[in-house]
């Protein structure tokens, strides 16, 4: 069965620190990849997505992610975090094959201290 | 404004009781989903529906049931067979384009009395 692994469950950073959250998936076929964010008290929302083309994708609020096919990875990065980035981050993979059935990772809770 | 509406926001279930969570969308989306969110376990798929009058089991369907009689509605029933129902339930929808993102509702927190 396909799975999505997020390596960091809890991350605590100070403002201006750099961030990298790991995401690996096990599906061997063509994939579409997503990062979603859930700010405290808000709906889950899309941060960025990859479906083809340039493997380095940029999203909202200065986030970016790099798709490395050989490593089955889609890590999320931000050079300098802010207090307002405190949230839960979820990596998701679309299983493809004509259906749209996103599978989510366990999530990473990020706390940024001012 | 278009979006997904989940109700109620909080729900309490007694032992042996079935409860139904509502999910309505006015985005004209074909596909709808129910996820369960538990701390440290991320979002796990309960059921999904890609078209009206059709739905499929997800990874943790046992103890749950759904219906999809209308395009805009996808209610979830948590039955008495679900022994650990306390969780945050999220409904989502999308157009079915594989590049499209999911739109999420605000969720329902279900607790057992």
pLDDT above 90 coverage of chain B, percent:
80
DSSP string, chain A: ---EEES-SEEEEETT--EEE-EEE---S--EEEEEEE-TTS-EEEEEEESSS-SEEE-GGG-EEEEEGGGTEEEEEESS--GGG-EEEEEEEE--TT---EEE---EEEEEE-
Residue B41 has what pLDDT?
Answer: 86
A67 to chain B, closest Cα gap in Å: 15
A97: pLDDT strictly greater than 70? no
B residues 41-100 near A, CB within 8 Å? 41-45, 48, 50, 58, 90, 92, 94, 96-100
- B54 pLDDT higher than 80: yes
Q: How far is A89 from chain B (nearest CA, A)?
A: 9
Main-chain dihedrals φ then ψ at residue A106, nearest 5 degrees: -75, -15
- CA distance to partner chain B, nearest, from residue A18 (Å): 23
Residue of higher predicted confidence among B107 and B95: B107
Tell me the per-residue pLDDT of A42-92, one tens digit each, with 9 for 90 and over. 989 999 999 889 999 999 999 999 999 999 999 999 999 999 999 999 999
Query: What share of chain A has pLDDT > 70, as a percent?
Result: 95
- The partner residue sitting opposite A43, judged by closest CB among B50, B94, B106, is B106
Percent of chain B with pLDDT over 70: 96
What is the distance between the alpha carbons of residues A68 and B46, in angstroms, rounded to a whole number? 30
Contact flag B48-A103 (C-beta cutoff 8 Å)? no
Tally of CA atoms within 13 A in the half-sphere of B100 that contains its CB: 17
Res B70 pLDDT > 90? yes
Query: Tokens 């605590």 appear where?
Result: A12
Q: Kindly provide the b/e burial profile for residues B82-96, where b requires at least 16 CB atoms within 10 angstroms of the residue's own CB.
A: beebebebbbbbbee
HSE value, Cβ hemisphere, 13 Å, CA-based, for B1 = 3
CB contacts of A101 in chain B (<8 Å) are: 45, 48, 58
pLDDT score at A98: 65
Cα(B13)–Cα(A77) distance, rounded to whole angstroms? Answer: 41
Nearest CB neighbour to B43, from listed A43, A94, A104: A104
Query: DSSP letters along B4-32, please?
Result: EEEE-SEEEE-TT--EEEEEEE-S--SEE
B35 in reach of chain A (CB within 8 A): yes
Mean pLDDT of the residues in chain B: 93
B13's CB contacts (< 8 A; 6+ apart) are: B19, B78, B85, B110, B111, B112, B113
pLDDT tens across A4-46, in order?
Answer: 999 889 999 999 999 999 999 998 778 889 999 999 989 899 9
In this structure, of A105-109, B13-17, B20-24, the range with the lowest mean pLDDT score is B13-17
Residue of chain A with shortest Cα separation from B38: A106
């Amino acid at each position: 069965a396909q799975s999505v692994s997020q390596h960091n469950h809890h991350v605590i950073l100070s403002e201006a620190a750099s961030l990298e959250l790991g995401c690996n998936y096990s599906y061997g076929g063509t994939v579409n990849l997503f990062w979603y964010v859930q700010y405290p008290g808000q709906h889950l929302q899309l941060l960025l997505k990859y479906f083809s083309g340039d493997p380095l994708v940029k999203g909202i609020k200065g986030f970016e992610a790099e798709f490395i096919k050989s490593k089955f990875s889609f890590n999320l990065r931000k050079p300098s975090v802010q207090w307002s980035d405190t949230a839960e981050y979820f990596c998701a993979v679309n299983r493809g094959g004509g259906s749209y059935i996103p599978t989510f990772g366990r999530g990473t809770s990020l706390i940024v201290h001012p | 404004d278009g979006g997904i509406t989940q109700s109620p926001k909080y729900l309490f279930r007694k032992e042996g009781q079935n409860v139904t969570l509502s999910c309505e969308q006015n985005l004209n989306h074909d596909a709808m989903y129910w996820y369960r969110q538990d701390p440290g376990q991320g979002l796990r798929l309960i059921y999904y529906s890609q078209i009206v009058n059709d739905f499929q089991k997800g990874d943790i369907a046992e103890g749950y049931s759904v219906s999809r009689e209308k395009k805009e509605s996808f209610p979830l029933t948590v039955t008495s067979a679900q022994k650990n129902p306390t969780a945050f339930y999220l409904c989502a929808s999308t157009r079915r384009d594989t590049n499209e993102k999911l739109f999420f509702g605000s969720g329902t927190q279900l607790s057992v009395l």
